[in-house]
A and B are shown apart, each in its own frame.
Chain A
């Protein structure tokens, strides 16, 4: 029985990929993930803000205090050798590559065209096997239409595509009006894969201090359903790779993901909560289930319950909504 799968043109030993997370931050945890069966590793994101605002701020807080006072012409050791932008990230790609045998996917996070997308090139040069472009945007401008927003995203994708030869995947939020159409355009812009979906830091409100505080909670299996639907819808409609990200906590979750149409499953919360060893159980259970149900390989399973293959496509569409509402009535 084979667990191998192809994602972004990369041959992976299983569909279980570590999604963008702090798991890549140190070599030990990355190595552990590989040892416990992860088939690829997506690094934590390098943020657009980090690349533009942050470097400007760092330059400002070191430079604006320089050459002002006769006794202190600067306040830090010579900063020309410090690369507070992407350098360390790039070095880390190289370190991971030297330690791991599985593919390492670098991640860029942003939403606007600009100099920052040029860093994709540096990632490629540093040895990344692919780039995951994490499109993170909350529209707040009432003057900007959905199509304008989508156009901007496509420009970013095309911009990155132009910079690199390695595969590029795009990680999206669920909030696009026509995901199948948008997916088609993303493919045309040059992307090799789609990751569904990213999970925003959600703002919470502090009612005592009248403050807004961003929060991030680890996912649960309940978040899987949204992904299953859209995975099922897109399967067969696009030639690019599909990765499911968010809500995979058990072998059953994983099987559902594959059946809906995913090439790979990105796992994050499970390993953050229980450590890389949780992958053992996940993969063992997954394998056992495949054996018990006589699947020869993952490809055989993939997309069997997608929109195009489902015995009841309506269930994936609007009827699903009606049925659930009726259940609530009972």
Chain B
């Protein structure tokens, strides 16, 4: 009865119900009904694949007692291709995807449909990247495949994601039409709700074994040979294409039959189109997806107060059964509004609207004497909220004298005037559930504790529970907001909690930064984690916060969770403490019962990790109850200070007006006109967001400092900087500003300072760790020591402002290939949202220091595009002259090609400028023109001189023919050398973008490629890539990767003409800097593969640089530079920059959880793979050694 995923899912069974998210709900069915699964990670569908892989690795069997075979592919196109093969091989197969991933599958989807392959895939529907990328949910992706011939089946809730998955898998078998089952990304895929699980018996009753056998018999086999995928001529193709029509004609009935069979087995009834509402409704909204739930609840309310409304939910969108659609609608309908969660610019309407309009027009005559009016609206793009207030506006618009034919809802459109106005304060009356909102940080475990809370409440009280979590796009200091609902009735509310009965603020600093108290209803309980006591907490609130507490009549409580955590040995983990505080105050469950449950959950989670851990957590639980204190709220506000605006006054107006509200969590209120229409934004905005993440700052002792600038080069956030400057610049220096004589024989009399940006430092300690300067009398005191941030913040803020105003060292006097000099170059990548201690960003920063003022960067999607380009603020910035990197992200898969295009364009513009200049050589001045065209731009001085020449050239524009002047004015800047970079992670370079990367490597264009190699898909949560090494555990490689890491460098070297460097900043910074300088100067294609430590490796990144050193010392990451220019000097191109492995590999791997996981679970396999990995290292070193010794074979002419 309970084989398969049903049995082993990690979520908890709640009575007859289970509590899980939409992805797991769908995957649990897909897994049980599949023999083969092809995967590729993409948000928000990733966890469906991860769960399947996990289940398979634990030996969970499908419906037929077989463990499905799972294959991770190199891209979604790869996954679809593999699925095609699996199906033609006779397998029952599935895959999971979203957004761009689905687009990559389109060509193969046509094939699957054209060949009538029974198949079902599951999509967590997500926006497509247009003016910007968005990971959030809408129907842009699924609407882009509606023409492929796939059947499209929509789910509106977690239960439906489960049920429709079953119906889709069941219907595809007899119909032979492939299915795409979809539900809203994040809103459904990540919402936790309770549902009734489908048993194996029901699944068995749903699938047609005869159809399965028939599918298996159609498999390609030499025993019954056939030929497929033929090429057809005009005489045959058209007719053959029409031959499949009966399959589509039969499909709606097959689906409806499956739905009815499902209803008889489970009691849950669905139809192709489900109408709910007044049987005499005049106004009906047609919708797909989770928005339907909101509309249903709203319609119910409107009907309750005497209106006649209804909602038609579309289940089977393709094929669109016009008859079933019309039958589902009441005859009384006068006005139909179709809501589309997508946008098709330039179309006469959105797709669902057009379908409904054409069906009503073409076939509605039989049903209505006077056809109902049909209008269309867009809503919820990229998970924009769709609330009952908005739904009310949609119904109301149908009653307007002249309803908008086309509208949007949920935004304020002051550009096209399309948006509907709605009452933002409207709440559906009569809702019976309790609501709670919690503001926390990712790192404090708030979300995990809340997931546990809903399990406890659902389990002990038998309540229905819903949870939805809003995450930050910043990786360091990420804010999380948890929205929880509990009630006796099932909860259909796919929108955020706006009027909570309980608001918990788990981080004190968030209170004035986020709309925390805004989330509370009148009379709600407000709990604040604060270092201040109940007596003084009130005095530390802003005027606005106090006024809101008073006006909402909140019951205000405080707890010092961090003190309790410290006292009980919990470090910074306050999740359990705050969870106990919630139960202490919320009265939802008797406290002793709640505590017993929490303790039980702790024991379950940690028992296998150590008794001490359990005990510590238990102690924290006991201490928490007595730590909650009520604040006596005065009768009026007493604060004199206002809530601080998140952006300082000195920031440009455009930053204040746009980034400010986005940062304050009030971006939804910004109107359309506030935004650039083409996705082009100014750079240099991260400096205005002061995040104050560091608990401790590095403090500089100039007396010990040896002025090596190593601290500056390793800083991932550009928050510690070095300058030398003339002594007289110190006039007016703040009292605590430190400086010392600059150690330089060439520049005597200069001063030197290391300065931290106190509010931008994240406290990762890498600078302190790398500092080599120790006090000779007290070795633990270094030139950089850590000290608490708070007491230093104000003083260092002033010092940093003074430091920034000091003269910038002259680039033309600095050696770009020296570690020390390179760090006097201003970083043009600063204060990104990357993880604390990130191993990638120091390389990106170095790139911008050396070449940023003339760099164009093409950035693959991934961590580097998220910390590089995710709003509200972005880190790429400009120097004093206003120059800086021009940065863009195209997609994940096309980055190499995108960068190549930029190069081609830049080179072409340079050629055009040269041609024009050459043609006007005499007129402009022969010698001057020759100087420009033959300029040596290999040094900073050369670049500076060329820039001066271009300035002069623009002064001489009038000497050019008149018709060329304006054009040449634009082209002139291309006479200054541009540095084109292609940047991305290993998921891009080794996997999805490898084809393009390979092509670019083969072309020899002057392009620089930087691969930030974390050996795993970091951004989507640690899935294995072809860069993942043998023995490492990753998602999709749960039992440790068997195969060797691809040697990308060796591959690139095989082209002969490519500069290749393998670097690790923490192991040898001088080689890193040298490699960057050489790569950029190389007049062809350069590839730098940079070792990047990552939180996905599983250790405290304060040791990231030490691990890099071990990576090199063990031979795990050999350092080299392969420079084809050396051949001309009679040298071998390859230079090894690290010696033979001098330590066993285990010295490196023993420090990382990704390796230790395997030791803990399967020591024998861990040992075997470790031996394999060691062997690979030895063999590879020997190969490199020989290549470096003998060189590549001489080229023949």
Closest residue of chain B to A73, judged by CB? B1021
A101 within 8 A of B: no
Residues of chain A contacted by B1033 (CB below 8 angstroms): 76-77
B708 within 8 A of A: no
Known contacts A70-B473, A84-B1157; is-contact A51 B612 (Cβ 8 Å): yes
* Docked CA distance A92–B47 (Å): 33
Chain A, 209-268, CB within 8 A of any chain B CB: 210-211
B1159 within 8 A of A: yes
* Docked CA distance A119–B608 (Å): 11
Chain A, 44-102, CB within 8 A of any chain B CB: 51-52, 54-88, 91-92
Known contacts A75-B1096, A211-B779; is-contact A59 B606 (Cβ 8 Å): yes
Contacting pair B1022 A76 (CB below 8 A): yes
Contacting pair A82 B611 (CB below 8 A): no
A7 within 8 A of B: no
Contacting pair B571 A60 (CB below 8 A): yes
Number of interface residues of B (CB under 8 A): 69
Contacting pair A56 B445 (CB below 8 A): no
Known contacts A55-B612, A77-B1033; is-contact A67 B442 (Cβ 8 Å): yes
Contacting pair B1163 A92 (CB below 8 A): yes
Contacting pair B1157 A82 (CB below 8 A): yes
A115 within 8 A of B: yes
Known contacts A61-B1098, A64-B443, A70-B471; is-contact A75 B779 (Cβ 8 Å): no
Q: Mark B1010-1031, 1 if CB is under 8 A from A, else 0.
A: 0000000011111000000000
A9 within 8 A of B: no
Tell which of A51, A52, A67 touches B448, judged by Cβ atoms closer than 8 Å: A67
Known contacts A51-B612, A115-B611, A116-B612; is-contact A63 B54 (Cβ 8 Å): no
* Docked CA distance A22–B1123 (Å): 45
Residues of chain A contacted by B190 (CB below 8 angstroms): 70
Known contacts A85-B610, A211-B779; is-contact A26 B1167 (Cβ 8 Å): yes
B1153 within 8 A of A: yes
B969 within 8 A of A: no
Residues of chain A contacted by B169 (CB below 8 angstroms): none
Contacting pair B609 A84 (CB below 8 A): yes
What's the minimum C-beta distance from A204 to chain B, rounded to whole angstroms? 14
Residues of chain A contacted by B1019 (CB below 8 angstroms): 71-72
Contacting pair B473 A77 (CB below 8 A): no
Contacting pair B611 A75 (CB below 8 A): no
Closest residue of chain B to A118, judged by CB? B611
B43 within 8 A of A: yes
Known contacts A67-B447, A69-B442, A78-B54; is-contact A61 B1099 (Cβ 8 Å): yes
A114 within 8 A of B: yes
Closest residue of chain A to B1163, judged by CB? A88
* Docked CA distance A27–B92 (Å): 42
B1035 within 8 A of A: yes
* Docked CA distance A119–B46 (Å): 38
* Docked CA distance A115–B774 (Å): 38
B1160 within 8 A of A: yes
Closest residue of chain B to A119, judged by CB? B611
Chain B, 17-67, CB within 8 A of any chain A CB: 43-44, 46-47, 50, 53-54, 57-58
Residues of chain B contacted by A81 (CB below 8 angstroms): 58, 1161
Contacting pair B445 A65 (CB below 8 A): no
Contacting pair A51 B1160 (CB below 8 A): no
Residues of chain A contacted by B44 (CB below 8 angstroms): 70-71
Contacting pair B1156 A84 (CB below 8 A): yes
Interface centre among B447, B609, B1157 (most CB of A within 10 A): B609
Q: Mark B785-824, 1 if CB is under 8 A from A, else 0.
A: 0000000000000000000000000000000000000000
Residues of chain B contacted by A52 (CB below 8 angstroms): 610, 612-613
Contacting pair A62 B478 (CB below 8 A): no
What's the minimum C-beta distance from A296 to chain B, rounded to whole angstroms? 44
* Docked CA distance A79–B614 (Å): 16
What's the minimum C-beta distance from A261 to chain B, rounded to whole angstroms? 37
Contacting pair B605 A80 (CB below 8 A): yes
Closest residue of chain B to A121, judged by CB? B611
Closest residue of chain A to B475, judged by CB? A69
Residues of chain A contacted by B831 (CB below 8 angstroms): none
Chain B, 1097-1118, CB within 8 A of any chain A CB: 1098-1100
* Docked CA distance A26–B451 (Å): 41
* Docked CA distance A210–B313 (Å): 72
Known contacts A65-B1095, A69-B478, A70-B471; is-contact A75 B1022 (Cβ 8 Å): yes
B573 within 8 A of A: yes
Known contacts A88-B1160, A114-B612; is-contact A75 B471 (Cβ 8 Å): no
Closest residue of chain A to B1038, judged by CB? A77
Contacting pair A83 B1021 (CB below 8 A): no
Contacting pair A77 B1035 (CB below 8 A): yes
* Docked CA distance A72–B1167 (Å): 29
Residues of chain A contacted by B609 (CB below 8 angstroms): 55, 58-59, 83-85
Contacting pair B135 A71 (CB below 8 A): yes
Interface centre among A26, A77, A87, A92 (most CB of B within 10 A): A77
Residues of chain B contacted by A88 (CB below 8 angstroms): 1159-1161, 1163
* Docked CA distance A211–B779 (Å): 8
Chain A, 114-162, CB within 8 A of any chain B CB: 114-116, 118-119
What's the minimum C-beta distance from A66 to chain B, rounded to whole angstroms? 6
* Docked CA distance A123–B871 (Å): 54
Residues of chain A contacted by B774 (CB below 8 angstroms): 210
Contacting pair A74 B1153 (CB below 8 A): no
Chain B, 183-228, CB within 8 A of any chain A CB: 186, 190
What's the minimum C-beta distance from A263 to chain B, rounded to whole angstroms? 32
What's the minimum C-beta distance from B1040 to chain A, rounded to whole angstroms? 10
Tell which of A55, A56, A63, A72 touches B1022, judged by Cβ atoms closer than 8 Å: A72
Residues of chain A contacted by B606 (CB below 8 angstroms): 55, 59
Contacting pair A61 B1100 (CB below 8 A): yes
Closest residue of chain B to A74, judged by CB? B1021
Tell which of B43, B441, B1161 touches A82, judged by Cβ atoms closer than 8 Å: B1161
Residues of chain B contacted by A86 (CB below 8 angstroms): 610
What's the minimum C-beta distance from A185 to chain B, rounded to whole angstroms? 26
Known contacts A51-B610, A56-B613, A71-B1020; is-contact A80 B10 (Cβ 8 Å): yes
Known contacts A81-B1161, A82-B1157, A114-B612; is-contact A68 B1098 (Cβ 8 Å): no
Residues of chain A contacted by B57 (CB below 8 angstroms): 77
Closest residue of chain A to B482, judged by CB? A67
What's the minimum C-beta distance from A159 to chain B, rounded to whole angstroms? 12
What's the minimum C-beta distance from A125 to chain B, rounded to whole angstroms? 14
What's the minimum C-beta distance from A61 to chain B, rounded to whole angstroms? 5
Residues of chain A contacted by B475 (CB below 8 angstroms): 68-69
Contacting pair B1160 A87 (CB below 8 A): yes
Contacting pair A76 B1153 (CB below 8 A): yes
Residues of chain A contacted by B318 (CB below 8 angstroms): none
Contacting pair A63 B448 (CB below 8 A): yes
Closest residue of chain B to A72, judged by CB? B1021
Known contacts A74-B1022, A76-B1153, A116-B611; is-contact A210 B1160 (Cβ 8 Å): no
* Docked CA distance A299–B779 (Å): 54
Q: Mark A190-216, 1 if CB is under 8 A from B, else 0.
A: 000000000000000000001100000
Contacting pair A77 B54 (CB below 8 A): yes
Residues of chain B contacted by A70 (CB below 8 angstroms): 43-44, 135, 186, 190, 471-473
What's the minimum C-beta distance from B149 to chain A, rounded to whole angstroms? 31
* 18 CB < 8 A contacts A-B: A55-B610, A56-B571, A56-B610, A56-B612, A66-B442, A66-B445, A66-B447, A68-B480, A71-B44, A71-B866, A76-B1022, A77-B54, A79-B1157, A84-B1153, A87-B608, A87-B1160, A114-B612, A210-B776
Interface, chain A (partner B; CB < 8 A): 26, 51-52, 54-88, 91-92, 114-116, 118-119, 210-211
A59-B613, A63-B573 given; 15 more Cβ-contact pairs under 8 Å:
A26-B1167, A52-B612, A55-B606, A61-B1095, A65-B442, A68-B471, A68-B472, A68-B480, A69-B471, A69-B473, A76-B1096, A77-B1033, A81-B1161, A83-B1160, A118-B611
Which 7 pairs show the lowest CB-CB distances between chains A and B? A68-B442, A72-B1021, A55-B610, A115-B611, A67-B447, A70-B471, A210-B779
